[in-house]
Amino acid sequence: MQCLICEEKEKLNFFDNYKLEVQGDEKYFNNLKIYNCKSCDFSFVHPMPDENKLNYFYINIIYYLIRIIMLDLFPQIEPYEYGLLDVDNIHKIYWEKHFDLDWSLSVEEILK
């Protein structure tokens, strides 16, 4: 084993076992350990996970979780008003209005 940046082989300290709080991550990252290089202060895992497993993990698990979180934070709602805005002779921008806020109110007044 050697540092991925400076290729140091001796001054590598075991830091911790790799932990990811996503269910099923052991399947992709089992027995990974985190090391820190004392020469260049770079931290890395060893052994490096298989690239195909890593890509599969990010595309199918992480992106999926992000989509669930985003839909929870920003549920799909129907706009009450929408239209196209002419930018020039060719291009238009689609716009939607979701809230009819009275901008003269303060945040405290809106949240009441």
Q: How far is the CB of 38 from Zn ion (least distance, A)?
A: 8
Q: What does the block give as tokens for 7? A: 């290729």
Looking at 1-9, 59-67, 90-98, 102-110, which segment touches Zn ion (CB under 5 A)? 1-9
- Decide: is 6 part of the binding site for Zn ion (CB under 5 A): yes
Q: Which residues contact 35 (CB under 8 A, 6 or more apart)?
A: 1, 12, 13, 14, 15, 43, 44, 45, 46
Closest to 42 (Cα-Cα) out of 14, 9, 6, 17: 6
Burial class (CB in 10 A: 0-12, 13-18, 19+), 111: exposed
Nearest CB to Zn ion, comparing residues 5 and 54: 5
Q: Least distance in Å: CB of 8 to Zn ion?
A: 4
Least separation in angstroms between residue 51's CB and Zn ion is: 22
User: Cα–Cα distance between 60 and 11 in angstroms, integer?
Assistant: 36
Residues 14-53 contacting Zn ion, CB under 5 A: 37, 39-40, 42
Q: Which stretch binds Zn ion (CB under 5 A): 6-14, 17-25, 54-62, 83-91?
A: 6-14
* Residues contributing to the site for Zn ion (CB under 5 A): 3, 5-6, 8, 37, 39-40, 42
